[in-house]
Structure formats: structure tokens, C-alpha cells
Amino acid sequence: MYVFLDFDGVMRRLTSRPFRFDRDCLERFENVLRAHPRARVVVASAWRLGLSLDSLRELFSPDIAPRVVGVTPESADLTGAYRHREMLGYLERNAAAGDAWVVVDDDGDHYPAGVRLISIDPRCGFDERAAAELARELHGLARTEAHGGPSDGAPSGDGPEEWIGLPR
């Protein structure tokens, strides 16, 4: 299963120093991943355009860095749900179109309704609420995969609508 991860507003609060993760946001995110060893990270942040995959991996702890497996391709069309199109492009290029995935982003406007989205408040970054939501979603995805269920990025129905980023 994949976690498509944005950085600005997620791994660093918008009020934080540029191009540096907030330690508490990173620790919370990595702790969720440690509890879900099958989860892989794909960078969907604009940082992917200026840093190599190896440089992006260096932002994470040594045990998590190898699980940062790629970056989304850059879309030529930056209108509408372009981040969603980039994610689908990544999955297609990596023969993973049927794999389960979830998005962690502070801007839901980049995605169509119904996508598994952990919506982050950019003033708070990846906080305890976000960690709990991601943990529940990854648990649900793991259960769905184990039972051969759908894994197309649509909500699994395993929790309240707020877990999947539907309008609040």
C-alpha cells in the first residue's frame, strides 16, 4: 500500500522555516509507518522537483528512508485535480494501479471527491489527529488487501466520513 505524501503544510507547518521538516510532525508520521510495515511512501510534494529521490530519503530516519520508494511525475496541466492525476500516473508507471493508497495533503482541492485523503491543517502540520486518522486508514487498507477487496483509492467505508477527507 502507498502513502502519497505532501510536505509543505504536512511535514512542516506553513509558519515553520522553509525546506525543513518539523521534528514532531516527522516523528508522528514515522511512528505510524513503523506500525504499518507494508506502507510505502511516494513523495507528491513540489520538493520532488528540486531534490533527488536520495536527497528526499535523507529527510527521513534511517529505518523509514528505504520505504520512500518514489516521486509522482510532474503534470503538464496544473488545473483541477492535478495531484490526483500525478498519483494515478505514478501507479500506472509502476504497475501498481490496483494497489491500495491514501493521500496525506493540506490541500484537498487537488483531488476529486471520494479519494482517501487525510486532510491536514497547514497551521498544525501532521498532528495527533492526523496520525490517528492515517493509522486507522492504513489499518483499514491492510484489512481490505488481506481480504482481496477493492484498492482503487476510493474510501473503504471502514470509518467515519471524516477519516477519508470528505467535506466537513
- pLDDT of the residue at 96: 86
- pLDDT of the residue at 158: 39
Cβ contact 83:111 at 8 Å: yes
Residue 78: pLDDT band (50, 70, 90) is confident
Region 5-23: mean pLDDT is 95
Model confidence over 83-111: pLDDT tens digits?
Answer: 999 999 999 999 888 899 999 999 999 99
- What is the phi/psi pair of residue 161, to 5°? -55, -30
Cβ contact 21:34 at 8 Å: no
Q: What average pLDDT does the structure give for the chain?
A: 87
